Amino acid sequence: MGIMESVVIERAVPTNKSLYNSVKSRIKKKYKVWPSAYASAALVKAYKAAGGGYRNESLTLENPEYVLDGYNTGCDGKITELHFVLKESNSAILGEAEYRGRKVSLGKPFRTPGGPKKFSVYVKKSNGNVVKVNFGHKGTGGAKTMRIKKSNAARRKSFRARHRCHTAKDRTTPRYWSCRFGWPSSGKGAIDKT
């Protein structure tokens, strides 16, 4: 038996992301511990009850790195099996990274109630460093945050022109995420795919 040159990872991905995220936020409020087996099971059950589904997604890792996880011994004390797991460096391909000692998801904006801005997102720079990009209007001195009225086409057009959203290509800038997340060109989804 030789070293594997590639590994295929299969995982279930929700077909309707917006429905999945709304059900997930509702379930997170209900359970004190997240993630947990009970909360995850409740999430799947509620998502399917709301009409959501899953599809299988395959990801192939070329030349993956392994770490020894454990081994089995026979009755004579000799090692009979070795168990290996994928090394942490492969998690970057799966959309995870480490930021200040904890694992974070890359490219998924989230609210920051106590943060300097309304939203934040973790992004990996070209040099490999993971940075936290803060964006959105937070409100100052206890003032309310600015409401995003993305359903108003005139406001959406004005914002996108003022911030030159058609040229926002650098994922490590707040302008990129404000244009894609807060003010999408269509006004229907949370993230603009263009």
List the chain domain ranges: 1-63, 64-91, 95-194
User: Looking at the DSSP assignment, which residues form a beta bridge with residue 105?
Assistant: 96
% helix / strand / coil in the chain, to the nearest 5?
30, 30, 45
pTM recorded for the entire structure:
0.48
* Predicted confidence pLDDT, tens digits, the chain (194 residues): 456 677 777 778 889 888 998 999 898 888 887 778 888 899 999 999 999 988 888 777 676 666 666 677 777 777 777 666 655 544 545 577 788 888 888 888 888 877 788 888 898 888 888 899 998 877 666 666 667 677 788 888 888 888 888 888 888 999 988 888 766 666 544 443 33
Distances (CA, A) of 140 to 66, 81, 145, 148: 49, 60, 8, 16
Is residue 4 within 8 A of residue 64, CB to CB? The reply is yes
Distance CA 150, CA 33 (A): 33
